[in-house]
Amino acid sequence: MAMIRVSGPAAATVSRSVCPGVSFEDGWLATLTTLRHPKREVLERAIVIPYPGPRSYTGEDMLEITVHGSSYLIEEVIEAFVIAGARRAEPGEFTRRAVANGKLDLIQAEAIRDLIEADTACQLRNAQRQLSGVLSVDFAEMRESLIELVATIEASLDYEAQGVEVASTEIESLLASCRRRVGKLLATAQAGERIRDGARVVILGPPNAGKSTLFNQLCGSERAIVSPHPGTTRDVIEAELDLAGVRTIIQDTAGLRAEGDAVEAEGHRRALLAADTADVVIQLWAMGGGEPPPTPSAAAPVIQ
């Protein structure tokens, strides 16, 4: 099945020639009707629901037409509405209209994109939470706190100009509260970014430490070549996994050692660069292989 949306002030007018029998006076009522093409008559039996504005997704008069999922049929229905006076929507235009008409804010609009692109349970839950307005409330409260802080500072300046001394404790208290709110929002943003874009995990260590074996085990397939010969892995090999509902990008890297040719040296550079941008570094070394390698300079947690 496929759903086609038509939105705008002329939605009712356009619908008359394509969806006879559908009326915006009977708002939110699903009607089984015959769609008609202005040039080729009968198209399809479809379910059409009119949503009178402003009680619709976009805040405008809107139609939702459910038809069978044939790509040819979908194109024919769209063409029928275009001939009747509509135009094809631009990418994201329905959500843009919803924002313009106050049905959604920008945070919720971003959540819709994340909801559509969600591949894991955590991404789905995070997008649904953001769409529900929880984050919007946090930003609204932050805005109110900043307005109160600015108003208090302006009032204190006015009083000071009149020779009245104003205690700074209230301003300091409001400023501290704003800082706490900003810190909380920044922490939430960082966590949300990892959920949306994926947590990056880098496997690091000397040659023949078992990095590629661990990488293949995590992937559940032979993604990297495993060999007893040192220096088999020369580049960063990447795989995307769903670990307990969290999007995770695992990277296998070249073994780190002092000697090696120019190609191996480039592999070392890329391995260390990957570690510097990782969220977590898994550091391996061979049993009985001497002292473990030094901890990388990355700010990410290191698991040895």
The residues spanned by each domain of the chain are 2-100, 134-196, 199-303
pLDDT at 43: 87
pLDDT at 193: 84
Cα distance between residue 40 and residue 154, in whole Å: 69
Q: Report pTM.
A: 0.71
pLDDT at 113: 92
Which of 17, 12, 16 shows the shortest CA–CA distance to 60? 12
Residues of the chain predicted below pLDDT 50: none
The architecture that CATH gives domain 2-100 is: 2-Layer Sandwich (3.30)
Cβ atoms of residues 283 and 293 within 8 Å: yes
Same fold across 2-100 and 199-303: no
Which of 128, 129, 123 shows the shortest CA–CA distance to 245? 123
**Strand ranges in the chain using DSSP code E only, listed in sequence order:** 2-7, 31-37, 41-51, 62-67, 199-204, 237-243, 246-252, 280-283, 302-303
Assigned CATH class of 199-303: alpha beta
Cα distance between residue 176 and residue 174, in whole Å: 5
pLDDT at 86: 95
Cβ atoms of residues 62 and 49 within 8 Å: no
pLDDT at 230: 58
88 is written with which tokens? 């094809």
Cα distance between residue 148 and residue 145, in whole Å: 5
pLDDT at 299: 57
